[in-house]
Amino acid sequence: MNRVKVAKISADGWLILFLGAVFLMYAFIAVMLHIKYQTFGWDLGYFDQLIWKVSQGIYPLSSLSKVNLLAGHFAPILFLYAPLYWLWSSPYVLLISQAAIVVFAAYPLYLTAKKITQNIFFSLTVIFSYLFFIGTQWSILNEFHEATVVPLFLSLIFYALSYQKNHWFWVGLVGLLATKEEMALLSAAIGLMLTVYFKNKKIGLTIAIFSLIWFFYLTEFLLPRISETGALFHPRLSDTARTPAELTTQIISNPLLVLKSIITPMAKMQTLFWSLFSFGFLLLAAPLGILLPLIEQFFMRFLYTGGQFTVWLNVNHHAAPAAMLLAVATIYAGPKIVKFVISKTGMRKAKVYLILGSYLIISTMIQDVYLKAPIHSLLKRNFYQIESYVRDNNMLIEKIPDSVIVAAQNSLIPHLSQREKFYLLPEVGEAEFVAVDLNDGPNKYAPIDHDQTEKLISDLISSGEYQIYFQANRAILLKKI
């Protein structure tokens, strides 16, 4: 008995060390991207300004969305980040804490896996697949978003259900509802899961009904009324519906619309394929009740037909909830597959789990290699080099006083966002300073491009309204005359 206990403690201890190493790796990449000006106004600068304002006791109105923190998305969870800014007021806080939350959400997941499968090796391989699933990687390494706390809350919910820790279940559920208005739909799916799989109809149906009511209350009533614009800030889930209520009506009246939206364009099916592939397709053996929250996530992402095509892909925060749910479904699929294999072959349980776990690791690694996962940047020599444009931009940033209104391009905004007001070019407004880095690169100038930015700077100078205040090669700072 003692030896078994020591072995279990040893496995848990090694897991904690492994999670710490993975966290440091992801945090390092995220920090390096910011140092190299590869983070942007949308979204790091957006969140940095809002949370900085909360930490300073300033009304959290966004210079980008022109609405307050709760009206952009209903995300009271963001208020919990403000105390961290009392210790270190920097966007690095968001990048590092995001890596920590997503990575260490794997620990309650591991405890759940041990409880369900009774096999340490398979449990560890599920954690490996979760951590290196490309959707997890991009959730951490694509800016900062409030939705990246969702894996932790989901992990706590399934841990609570496995160990009958009711208080952790409610922490996870309330956390979901406090993260984003659309997470109420995920909460409703969890309620249905409780009803169908866990046979807790009373609580399950109550959660499902309340969550649906809460979603439509937020989107149809509360958010438009607390918004400075008087309208829902993110109203369009499709090209044909202005609000979630309108889309719901269309879904009921025209089911073919749903089918068409889900399967086209082909990028949606590719996302589904690689999501399942990364977990070796094992999760397809999971009970239908366990799959309900995952189905909800893919359904809502694929139903979207607006202009932001990244909603369909595993390249940002939209993949964060599914990353955890894919892992959870794989855990619940494990015992069913093992039981089936044993019944057909007579193979020992431990051996079956060894084969399944090894297969899971291989699937995840193939996915990483084929899709050129962002973690591969650690193998590139130029990733560690600080280019001259970075030093030029650093000098430019130092020349801008903290208290003034500044207009800047997308890649400079996160380094200038801790102020009451700023503008994203081409909007200039009453900015006293205008900052640009004319070294071209992806997404640096959005919503305009490099040539339009050059012309804008030239026009501002020729108009006589601004003059060059500082220049370091292609980094230019204009000051209002």
Which residues, 6+ apart, have CB-to-CB distance to 202 below 8 Å? none
Place of tokens 């979760």: 130
User: What's residue 240's pLDDT?
Assistant: 67
User: What's residue 1's pLDDT?
Assistant: 45
Nearest to 54 by CA among 29, 77, 23: 77
For residue 278, give the amino acid letter: S
Distance CA 221, CA 209 (A): 17
**Residues 334/349, Cβ–Cβ less than 8 Å:** no
pLDDT by 10s per residue, the chain, length 481: 455 454 456 778 899 999 999 999 999 999 999 999 999 999 999 999 999 999 999 999 999 999 999 999 999 999 999 999 999 999 999 999 999 999 999 999 999 999 999 999 999 999 999 999 999 999 999 999 999 999 999 999 999 999 999 999 999 999 999 999 999 999 999 999 999 999 999 999 999 999 999 999 999 999 999 999 998 887 666 666 777 888 888 888 888 877 888 888 899 999 999 999 999 999 999 999 999 999 999 999 998 777 778 899 999 999 999 999 999 999 999 999 999 999 999 999 999 999 999 999 999 999 999 999 999 999 999 999 999 999 999 999 999 999 999 999 999 999 999 999 999 999 999 999 999 999 988 899 999 999 999 999 999 999 999 999 999 999 999 999 9
User: What's residue 246's pLDDT?
Assistant: 82
Compute the Cα dihedral for 157, 162, 167, 168 and give only its sign: negative
Helix (H) or strand (E) holding 456: helix 450-462
Place of tokens 């918004």: 227
User: What's residue 410's pLDDT?
Assistant: 98
DSSP class of residue 77 equals G
pTM of the predicted protein model = 0.94
User: What's residue 309's pLDDT?
Assistant: 82
**Residues 407/425, Cβ–Cβ less than 8 Å:** yes
- The structure tokens listed for 28 are 């390092």
